[in-house]
A = this chain, B = another copy of it.
Amino acid sequence: MAEAVRHDNTARQLRLLSDALDSGRLGPVRRLVHSLAPAEIGNLLESLPPDRRMVVWGLVDPDDDGEVLVHVGDEVRESLLADMDNDEIVAAVEDLDIDDLADLVDDLPDTVIDEVLKSMDRENRERLEQVLSYPEDTAGRLMNPDVVTVRADTTVDVVLRYLRLRGELPDHTDHLYVVNRRHQLMGWVALQALVTNEPGTPINRLIDDELTAIHVDDQADDVARRFSDHDWVSAPVVDNGNVLMGRITIDDVVDIIRGQAEHQALGAAGLDEDEDLFSPIRRAVRGRVVWLGVNLLTAFMAASVIGQFEVTLERIVALAVLMPIVAGIGGNAAVQVLTLMVRGIALGQVGPSNASILLWKELRVAAINGVLIGSVVGLVALAWFRDWMLSLVIASALLINFSAAALAGVLLPLLLKRMRVDPAVAGTVVVTAVTDIIGFFSFLGLATLILLR
């Protein structure tokens, strides 16, 4: 076999590819691309600016086209599809698994969908329509209807003979599903059990009927969690009548988990996780400006708070110098609490039953951090402006803002969650709006009360 290839990561491939493209020699590029798995090609295409992306896309083995399309983000997929004529698209996607095809269908031109449906046999067409009938992000939409089933009243050697006749199994088949006459799920038998038990063993004795199947309506997040809690490689999907509809495999689950992580990381900055690194300018602007607008609104709210204290600011200019510190550090403290809460909510670890305990804990942490950070800032302010009272005002304002940060960090994500707004996406804007406003108000307000007397 080939020597273990080390560090064959995208960055290196990218450099090689970039050098080859620079030199105009397409032969090495083609060889490199043909040596990659479809997911790796997808990753590579995403890392290329549009012109080069199209050159490389033209060099991909047409047999890989469909799988590559499955493995790129929506925006990049659109740009790749725009480069293909309908016949090419049909050829690329018609051999995909049903679940992958269902993933793509929204992005395909109607004429292509018609062609693909025509090229399928009736059974597969019906299966595809079935899968498409479930909402996105449900188990029904994720499942692959291609499953291998056996009956309970048979033996290992009969099953093995059946499998030899059947030939190749669907990818990631680690279990066969045991169904009754009405195709209801009775349990599953591990492939491992088939190869480690004597030929005469009744299937009945090898059935694991402890599994809780996935329901077609289950949410993708729940499915992912159950896979990782139970270390499944595949799991059966059933409908209300416990009829076996398909199965979900670990590769889909890995995609869900990666997708959640991207959604969280990008969503927190107001970005769409499908944003192409090389989006056309107009699209990138459109994608970001809305978010900046939302933040602008909160910035104006904070500014209007400051505006209430113009008289105070005119008389003590040091307040203008120091006020961003109060607001900024309060925001940092709030984001820390928020981040812990968002993780806890995502893992199902935080709910009404422990929210008050968490709030109490965070308030105590805030009190200590408020005193610590407040003292440091107070001392620096004292050294800078030589004003004991100013120093006391900023330290107190920081303590107040730390408490506000704890309150907002614990309560707002729970509130957002209840309002069905994703706290991972909206949380940061909301809590920092609170700490900006409370920060400016407490600092300038205390200053007005104490320093302007």
Contact = CB atoms under 8 A, between A and B. Distances in A.
Interface of A: 1-11, 14-15, 18, 37, 39-40, 43, 46-49, 160, 163-164, 166-169, 171-174, 185-187, 191-192, 194-198, 209-215, 217-218, 222, 225, 227-231, 233, 238, 242, 250-251, 253-255, 257-258, 260-262, 264-266, 268-271, 275, 277-279, 281, 284-285, 288-289, 291-293, 295-296, 299-300, 302-303, 306-307, 310, 313-314, 317-325, 327-329, 332-333, 335-336, 338-340, 342-344, 347-354, 357-358, 361, 364-365, 368-369, 372-373, 376-377, 380, 384, 436, 440
Given A164-B197, A228-B254, A250-B233, A351 B4 contact: no
A275 B373 CA distance: 21
Contacts of A217: 6
25 contacts: A1-B186, A1-B209, A1-B211, A2-B209, A2-B210, A11-B351, A14-B351, A43-B229, A49-B354, A49-B357, A164-B195, A168-B196, A228-B251, A268-B339, A277-B358, A284-B361, A285-B365, A285-B372, A288-B333, A299-B329, A300-B325, A306-B324, A310-B317, A320-B320, A324-B324
Query: Secondary structure at chain A's binding surface: helix, strand, loop or mixed?
Result: helix
B1 A185 contact: yes
B269 A335 contact: yes
Given A192-B191, A353-B18, A288 B369 contact: yes
B231 A343 contact: no
Nearest to A402: B292
A296 B377 contact: yes
A296 B186 CA distance: 61
Nearest to A335: B269
Contacts of A333: 288, 292
Contacts of A48: 354
B238 A4 contact: yes
Contacts of A365: 281, 284-285, 288
A371 to B, nearest CB: 10
A357 B46 CA distance: 14
A180 to B, nearest CB: 11
A330 B39 CA distance: 36
Nearest to A254: B228
Contacts of A296: 325, 329, 373, 376-377
Contact of A292 (B7, B8, B275, B369): B369
6 closest A-B pairs (Cβ-Cβ)?
A10-B348, A47-B349, A261-B261, A320-B320, A18-B353, A269-B339
Given A295-B332, A302-B325, 5 more contacts: A1-B186, A1-B210, A4-B213, A228-B255, A306-B320
A4 B215 contact: yes
A1 to B, nearest CB: 4
Contact of A361 (B281, B324, B336): B281
A251 B269 contact: no
Contact of A218 (B6, B164, B352, B377): B6
A336 B228 contact: no
A310 to B, nearest CB: 5
A197 to B, nearest CB: 7
